Amino acid sequence: MGKKKPDIPQDLLEHAVYQQLWSSGARIMGKNPEYTMQLTGVENLLKLLIKDLEKNLHLIQQKKYSHFLHEFESKFDLDLSPTLERIETNLGGMGAYNDTDNAQPDVMIYYMILTKLLEALREKSYQMWGNGQIREKYTQSTGHAFTRKVEDKLQRLAALNEENVSILYNLSFILMLGLHYGSKKFQTTIKRLTTTRVNRVVQQLS
Burial class (CB in 10 A: 0-12, 13-18, 19+), 200: middle
The 8-class DSSP code of residue 98 comes to G
Distance CA 18, CA 69 (A): 19
Q: Other C-beta atoms within 10 Å of 97: how many?
A: 15
Looking at residue 93, what is its pLDDT?
Answer: 79
Higher pLDDT, 101 or 73: 73
Total H helices, total E strands in the chain: 10, 3
Domain boundaries, the chain: 10-205
- Rounded to two decimals, the pTM is 0.86
Mean predicted lDDT score pLDDT of the chain: 88
Looking at residue 102, what is its pLDDT?
Answer: 54
Higher pLDDT, 87 or 1: 87
pLDDT in tens, 194-205: 999 999 999 999
Looking at residue 98, what is its pLDDT?
Answer: 52
Mean pLDDT, residues 173-199:
95
pLDDT in tens, 16-72: 898 888 877 788 888 888 899 999 888 889 999 999 999 999 999 889 999 999 999
Quickly list DSSP for 127-188: IIIIIHHHHHHHHHHHSS---HHHHHHHHHHHHTT-HHHHHHHHHHHHHHHHHHHS-HHHHH
Looking at residue 48, what is its pLDDT?
Answer: 94
Burial class (CB in 10 A: 0-12, 13-18, 19+), 172: buried
Where do runs of H (alpha helix) occur along 41-80? 42-55, 57-61, 65-76
Q: Is the dihedral of CA 106, 108, 111, 114 positive or negative?
A: negative
Three-state DSSP at 24 gives strand
Mean pLDDT, residues 109-114:
92
Distance CA 73, CA 5 (A): 22
Looking at residue 5, what is its pLDDT?
Answer: 55
Measured CA angle at 64 (ends 96, 98), to 5 deg: 5
Mean pLDDT, residues 121-150:
95
Contact yes or no for 165/155 (Cβ under 8 A): no
Q: What percent of the chain has pLDDT over 70?
A: 90
- pLDDT bracket for residue 1 (50, 70, 90): very low
pLDDT in tens, 83-102: 999 999 988 877 645 555 55
Helix axis angle, 10-18 to 42-55, nearest 10°: 130
